[in-house]
Amino acid sequence: MPEAPHNLHDLYEAILTGDATRSVEITQAALDAGVDPQCLVNEHMIPAMDEAGRRFEIHDFFVPELLIAARAMKGALVLIRPLLAAQGVQPIGRVVIGTVKGDLHDIGKGLVASMLAGGGFEVVDLGVDVPASKFIEEAIKHSADIVAVSALLTTTMVGMKDVVQALRDSELRDRCRIIVGGAPITQQFADAIGADGFSSNANSAVTLARTIVASA
Ligand code: B1M
């Protein structure tokens, strides 16, 4: 395997400082050199976003810095997401995914969507700020096996309960399962709102979804 032309810590720095041009350039060069895309995401890109969040907490960063860091991360993910997605395999199940109402964070949800697609699922991504009724409408329309809901804010995660309830009240209640995830979500919270599953990251979301369709 050829050597990566950049020190990959530069990717971390490019995202943290919101340098989208550089983050795309380093990502492309690393991929061309054969670096594993998941290694780029897990070891360099997510830590950069975590550091941005830490600086936001201590008032070193403000919303504009978070926005440009997110833009730099998303630019690099444009190159990575297709590599995570499956090519030409029969879907093993259908997932409708979105970020809960009131919440605009979409990077983690997008990664989960890509990993599920890469894991053989057909994925319908509803985007951000998705009301409970929309999850159910789309799940019915696409005969979904799983509804996957993401939340990044402690103020919006409570809205996941509405999605669980709307699913239980719908015609889908016996044939569609609901999974939840996102930084503030725990197994305890998932159990408390009656979700069928929780995962803390994009990889384990695929394992969870596979277990759910296999046991249906
Ligand atoms: Co926001 N933000 N933000 N933000 N932001 C957080 C979440 C925060 C923790 C920062 C902090 O204070 N340290 C904090 C939340 C505090 C809290 O609720 N406890 C926060 C805040 C306060 C806010 C605002 C309220 C700020 C304001 O306006 N005053 C505001 C809210 C806007 C809204 O949503 N209504 C806001 C806005 C924003 C931006 C728009 C500027 C931007 C988002 C841009 C975008 O997404 N397009 C942003 C960002 C970038 C962040 C941080 C820095 C990074 C989030 C991220 O993308 N992480 C974040 C701090 C942090 O998380 N460290 C922060 C990388 C991503 C890959 O990880 O999303 O956790 P994550 O996804 C992981 C797992 O969680 C999991 O898998 C993913 C991959 O492993 N996962 C799932 C996610 N969804 C899943 C679903 C599943 C399974 C697993 O199954 C269904």
The whole-model pTM stands at 0.91
**Over 70: is that where the pLDDT of 117 sits?**
yes
What is the predicted pLDDT for the residue at 1? 46
**Mean pLDDT across the chain:** 92
What is the predicted pLDDT for the residue at 5? 61
Domain boundaries, the chain: 9-87, 94-215
pLDDT (tens digit, 9 = 90+) per residue, 120-157? Answer: 889 999 999 999 999 999 999 999 999 999 999 999 99
9-87: CATH, from 1.10.760.10, 1.10.3720.10, 1.10.1240.10, 1.10.10.60? 1.10.1240.10
Calculate the alpha carbon distances from 77 to 36, 68, 120 in Å. Answer: 13, 14, 19
Domains 9-87 and 94-215 share a fold: no
Q: Which two tokens stand for residue 20?
A: 């989208």
pLDDT (tens digit, 9 = 90+) per residue, 45-101? Answer: 989 988 998 999 899 999 899 989 989 988 998 999 888 775 555 678 999 999 999
Q: Which two tokens stand for residue 66?
A: 């978070």
Spatial separation of the C-alpha atoms in residues 8 and 25, rounded to whole Å: 11
Pocket of ligand 1, candidates 66, 115, 157: which has the most ligand atoms within 8 Å of its Cβ, to mutate?
Answer: 66
94-215: CATH, from 3.40.50.280, 3.40.50.150, 3.40.50.1980, 3.40.190.10? 3.40.50.280
Strands 197-198 and 177-181: parallel
Q: Is 154 in the pocket of ligand 1 (CB under 6 A)?
A: yes
Q: Is 205 in the pocket of ligand 1 (CB under 6 A)?
A: yes
